Structure 1
Amino acid sequence: MKGVKRTNVRWMMVVFLFIVTAINYGDRATIGIAGKSMSGELGFDAAAMGWVISSFSIAYVIGQLPGGWLLDRFGSKRVYFCSIFFWSIFTLLQGTIHFFIGAWALIMLFTFRFLMGLAEAPSFPGNSRITAAWFPAKERATAVSIFNSAQYFATVIFAPIMGWLTHEYGWQSVFFFMGGLGIFISFVTIIMVHNPKDHPWANKEEVEYIAEGGGLVDMDQKKEEGKEDQGPKLGYILQLIKNRMMLGIYLGQYCINVLTYFFITWFPIYLATERGLDIKSVGFLAAIPAVCGFVGGIAGGVFSDFLLRKTGSLSIARKTPIVFGMLFSMMMILCNYVDSITMIIFFMSLAFFGKGVGALGWAVMSDTAPKEISGLAGGLFNMFGNASSIISPIIIGYIVHVTGRFEWALVFVAAHAFLAAFSFLFIVGPIKRMEVKKNQFSNY
């Protein structure tokens, strides 16, 4: 009907995804805030805590393909709710390990962190799926950059709260607070997450606007009874990993995440050991590049959608920020040639800004994942990306151990930024939605 104003429920959805993602990263950070007090009280040494920290990443990677399959089989609403609810339960339960004695406390902490990682596995593929359903292509990168930027913002939001709770009420309170908050948000999912066509707050004009722009508004529509494709078959994985475009995207995301995990894990250690800063200074200075990454992330998404509106080309719109952002992030190598802390933070801030600009992998995934198996494709994408959370910190540690310094570690990280740019430029090819051959793997 002419003159009816289009609703904007899709932007409420992306704010909700931002909140969920911030809680997601806040839950991951609990062990970093509470770990010192916890290990002191329970007698865990550094090696034991290392296994506890790695347990999450191992489970998170293992859970990507099953999590993606569950999203495709049962839809975003149910799986997203279960994911948030159960990862929050396992977060909360970590606050109870002091009830166990000796080695059992360590075993239970490892188990709860592992189960939390499994439960979180569908979260980012779910974000990608919801974005693909709710946003036309010309707004998708902005939407993805908003919820993706929550990973930088989570530290600013939750670290002070968790630090205060630990000081005032003990380390257990951190897990109770974050777990309880997540359980509450999981029930908000029931109200917020719907197919665009079924959402009680979205009018027909908004749904048509999304659909005309390439949004998959009927992604979770119930399949007709008796239809052969009731869910993705495992053989679809072979189609995904044999597709040159998807392989290039997966390789690019692995390389981009090497930069992410360097800043999360090794950058504070670099400031403390290589540059001799005290812990208080490290905490303050390490936050500056994180803020720059947040700004870069929003800027990259807005710029990408601007390019799409101007050029009409997904390839130009997505690849340009990724390639230039990754090349810009290589400026971290300049830290090897300066001694001033100010200049080091300046170059690292520029590098993290570039990384933020180029972190459009989930937007590309929303643009390219086959409609029938978008969850599975996103799970495989996230599995490749988060494999770097296991591999790259170990390699960086080995480089620092052998050389005694961080120079070659910075070169290692910067080389991955270059490889990410190379992958999107020369391997990915034209960016378009992949079509699957539905009957090719009927026996799988």
Structure 2
Amino acid sequence: MSVSRAIADKPDLATGKATRVRWFIVFMLFMVTTLNYADRATLSIAGTSLQRDLNLNPVTMGYVFSAFAWAYVIGQIPGGWLLDRFGSKKVYAYSIFFWSFFTLLQGFIGVFNAATAVIVLFILRFMVGLSESPAFPANSRISASWFPTAERGRAAAIFNSSQYFATVLFAPIMGWITASFGWQYVFIFMGTLGVIIAGIWLKSIHSPREHPRINEAELHHIETGGGLVDIDQYVKVKEDSGPKWGYMKQLLKSRMLLGIYIAQYCITTLTYFFLTWFPVYLVQERGMSILEAGFVASLPAICGFGGGILGGMFSDSLLKRGFSLTVARKTPIVIGMILSCAMIICNYAETEWVVVSIMALAFFGKGFGALGWAVVSDTSPKEIAGLSGGLFNTFGNIAGITTPIIIGYIVNKTGSFNGALVFVAANAFVAILCYLLVVGPIKRFELKKQA
């Protein structure tokens, strides 16, 4: 289908200056991903009060924190296949609705006795993780469809930086709700908000060729710049077919992709430290109140948000200045991970403002180097973009299982978070080694056709 043919039904948009609908699309991705991360963080904000009410030790709390990630990892490959099979719009809408519904239900676990409540909480967190599993592969798939290569770094950085904006916006709100009304109302508030946003998503999102407000000039800009505007047409999957395991084997045999996957596991270790144990660290290790922790946690997150936007802009600017895609993507990742390693210095800091400043630097670095999803959009085979993103996110979010549990054991054994910070910083260093020594040139992976 030609560009002109695609807009034949909307002649009023066929001429003139290019529209900028793609930036509204990335705003929607930013909004739903902010909700995504806020719902993941509900337990960390409410965690100290909940831990006290249910009498949980650090090891048990670590396992409860990990419940989300067990399901999130399990759901990545099926979630990616569902995206390739049914398209991003519908699958994402169902995803938002169900993760919000299961978040809302967590507000009612207080009706059970302590032992039963822990089990029910684990199950509900598990269901939130399963429901969220298509989200980031969908983000990658939508950005690959709506953005040319030269703008994809900024697009990915914008929606990925929402993990920090979620903390900036919602940590103070959730901290206030916990302190004023109780931890139960955090889940009820966030769940209700998500159900509303699911409806907004359905009304707002379309593929590039089907969007009622895009004009020929913008569609041409996206398509000629490398945007996969026909991504839903690359795979014609039969109703009784499932994930193409032979293609997955090809992905796993690629040194470039395997290096990217392992690096993402290490980078996501930092993410899950900040999402799970960081507010608890502020309360238990640094003696802050829950309300203080909610507000203080937002300060480093502001730096992470800024770092995320700047990292994407810096990467795209390197491309425009003539640097290769490899240099443009790797440089901010390496710089960001080096800055993240600074969190170890907190082990030697005594005053709160020094700790917050160092964590702000680490957050900034984490955001600046968070270009993994841009790399996935650049490297995924166009035939299985959803499945490729799902595999990438599977590797990354195994860290969501291991990080809370390992830190729980470290804190329980040592009575301190010092070892935990060393563990997290070591993962940032391994990510640097992966991108410098393993990944090699970054380019789109070409599948070998299966018989």
TM-score by length of 1: 0.89
Query: Is the CA contact 2:65–2:276 (under 8 Å) kept in the aligned structure 1?
Result: no
Which whole-Å CA distance do the structure 2 matches of 1:39 and 1:350 have between them?
Answer: 29
Cα displacement (A) at 1:288: 2.3
* Structure 2 partner of 1:355: 366
Q: Deviations over 1:351-393 (max 9, x none)?
A: 2211111111111111111111111111111111111122123
**1:289 maps to amino acid:** P
Q: Residue in 1 aligned with 2:336? A: 325
Q: Give the counterpart letter for 2:304 in structure 1.
A: G
- Residue 394 of structure 1 deviates from its aligned partner by 2.8
1:374 to 370, 382, 385: 385
Residue matched to 1:311: 322
Match 2:168 to one of 133, 156, 160? 156
Compare 58-67 and 109-118 and name the one that shifted more: 109-118
CA separation of 1:170 and 1:323: change in aligned 2, threshold 3 A: closer
Residue 136 of structure 1 aligns with an amino acid whose one-letter code is P
* 1:88 paired residue number: 100
AA matched with 2:134: P
Q: Specify the code of the residue in structure 1 equivalent to 2:420.
A: A
**Closer/same/farther in 2, CA of residues 215 and 162 from structure 1, 3 Å limit:** same
Unaligned segments of structure 2, at least 5 residues: 5-13
Question: 1:69, 1:232 within 8 Å by CA — same for their partners in 2?
Answer: yes
The structure-2 alpha-carbon separation of the partners of 1:269 and 1:166, relative to structure 1 and needing over 3 Å to count, comes to: closer
- Work out the CA distance in 1 between the residues paired with 2:118 and 2:171: 24
Name stretches of at least 5 consecutive residues in structure 1 with no aligned partner.
Answer: none
Task: Please state how far the C-alpha of 1:275 moved relative to its aligned partner.
Answer: 4.6
* Maintained 8 Å contact 2:175/2:293: no
- 2:308 is the alignment partner of 1:297: yes
1:72 is paired with a residue whose SS is helix
In structure 2, the residue matched to 1:429 is 440
Structure having greater relative contact order (Cα 8 Å, sep ≥ 6):
2
CA distance in 2, matches of 1:282, 1:168: 14
CA distance in 1: counterparts of 2:152 and 2:303, whole angstroms: 22
Moved more, 10-19 or 268-277: 268-277
Deviates most, 7-16 or 144-153 = 144-153
Partner of 1:438, secondary structure, is coil
Aligned length: 438
> For the residues of structure 1 that align with 2:374 and 2:334, how far apart are their CA atoms?
14
Specify the code of the residue in structure 2 equivalent to 1:218.
D
Counterpart in the other structure of 1:73: 85
Are positions 1:345 and 2:356 aligned together? yes
> SS at the partner of 2:317?
helix
Q: CA deviation at 1:97?
A: 3.6
Indicate the residue corresponding to 2:36 in structure 1: 24
Q: CA deviation at 1:336?
A: 3.9
Q: Could you report, residue by residue, the CA deviation over 1:297-319 in whole angstroms, capped at 9, with x for unpaired residues?
A: 11101101111111252111101
Answer whether contact 2:336 2:368 (CA < 8 A) is retained. yes
Contact 2:309 2:368 in 1 (8 A): yes
The answer as to whether partners of 1:311 and 1:317 remain within 8 angstroms in 2 is no
The root-mean-square deviation of aligned C-alpha atoms, in Å, is: 2.8
Q: Which moved more, 1:376-385 or 1:275-284?
A: 275-284
* Residues 96 and 287 (structure 1), Cα distance of their counterparts in 2 relative to 1, 3 Å cut: closer
- The equivalent of 1:126 in structure 2 is 138
CA drift at 1:181: 1.9
Q: CA deviation at 1:106?
A: 4.1
Q: 1:242 aligns with which of 249, 253, 257?
A: 253
Partner residue of 2:128?
116
Rounded to whole Å, the distance in 1 between the matches of 2:42 and 2:433 is 36
Cα displacement string for residues 322-343 of structure 1 (whole angstroms, at most 9, x for unaligned residues): 1111122222233344444433
2:403 to 383, 392, 396: 392
C-alpha distance in 2 between matches for 1:136 and 1:185: 27
Match for 2:312: what amino acid?
A: G
Q: Give the deviation of 1:57 after TM superposition.
A: 1.6
Retained in 2: the 8 A contact 1:335–1:347?
yes
SS of 1:198's equivalent in the other structure is coil
Q: Distance in 2 between matches of 1:241 and 1:50?
A: 30
Q: TM-score, normalised by structure 2?
A: 0.88
- In the superposition, relative to structure 1, how do residues 259 and 318 fare at CA in structure 2: closer, same or farther (>3 Å)? same
- The answer as to 2:162 corresponding to 1:189 is no
Q: 1:68 to 1:411 in 2, by over 3 A?
A: same
Quick one: which amino acid aligns to residue 357 of structure 1?
F
